[in-house]
Amino acid sequence: MSNINVLVSGAGGRMGRTVMSAVMEAGDMTLVGGVDPGFSDTLLCELVAGAPREAVAPDVETGIERFKPDVMVDFTTPTALMHNLPTALTKRVACVVGTTGFSEELLREICALCEQCNTPAVIAPNFSIGANLMMKFAAEASALMDYAAIIEAHHENKLDAPSGTALATVERMRRARGDDFAHQQTQHFALEGVRGGEVGGISVQAIRMAGVVANQTVLLGGPGETLRIEHVTTGRECFMPGVLLAVREVRNLEGLTFGLDELLMNT
């Protein structure tokens, strides 16, 4: 397998730094550069020990011109992604995206742009193998249980809520069930919003607090029993096998691939 040159967008963030370390440890990849307007001109080796003595580019266009990557990995924000992804795709650079919180409309635009540019992209709400198994198991159980709830907790700096993982879980559960879950309405609230959001009968609650990386619990209820499916992230390194898998496979795909399902089935 030929070596893959990787550019990391969001290089100064916690996920960006973790991705850079993982790429450097992979035997079939080379970290060629990073992009982050907040760390422009900072050397990569100042962000991650052992990284190249290359200055972080201020934007994706500059990064692509300077580093000539095969694949760009993006962990930024929805606002930044609206510029980063079209720039990379129009320059025929395959993309792996872990940014969450963008709209369905933007997702459709990205899909159309992938087709238009004939350049593939993988967008996954969660790159953890365990989290993807959690979503799979929750979907399989949805046809057999009448009540459902999702409780997700993330670190205090996460900007979007609920998480992309929670929304993807809701979508998979509803699609597998083919109908809404049962949902009893509360008549009197002592605290407004205490039951969280609700989609298709699925209660969804989001928690943001220090001491948490990324956790999600799916609760399914039926007569006399409750099924709990829980995924707990203790470190960001759990996302790296999925990210590296996507980097290796994205150029073999066509158009936009959402989620890791297709990639995991082929491994």
Active site residues: 154, 158
User: Please, are residues 48 and 20 in contact by the beta-carbon 8 Å criterion?
Assistant: yes
How far is Cα 101 from Cα 165, in angstroms, rounded to an integer?
10
Number of Cβ within a 10 Å radius of residue 246 = 25
Q: Is 123 helix (H, G, I), strand (E, B) or coil?
A: strand
Beta bridge partners of residue 122, listed in sequence order: 96, 257
- Amino acid identity, residue 89? L
Cis omega (within 30 of 0) on the bond before 69? no
Instruction: Tell the residue number behind the tokens 């699925």, with chain if given.
Output: 202
User: How many beta carbons lie within 10 A of that of residue 24, not counting itself?
Assistant: 17
Token pair, residue 196, equals 């969280």
Place of tokens 């650079």: 93
Q: Strand 225-233 vs strand 147-154: parallel, antiparallel, or unpaired? A: unpaired
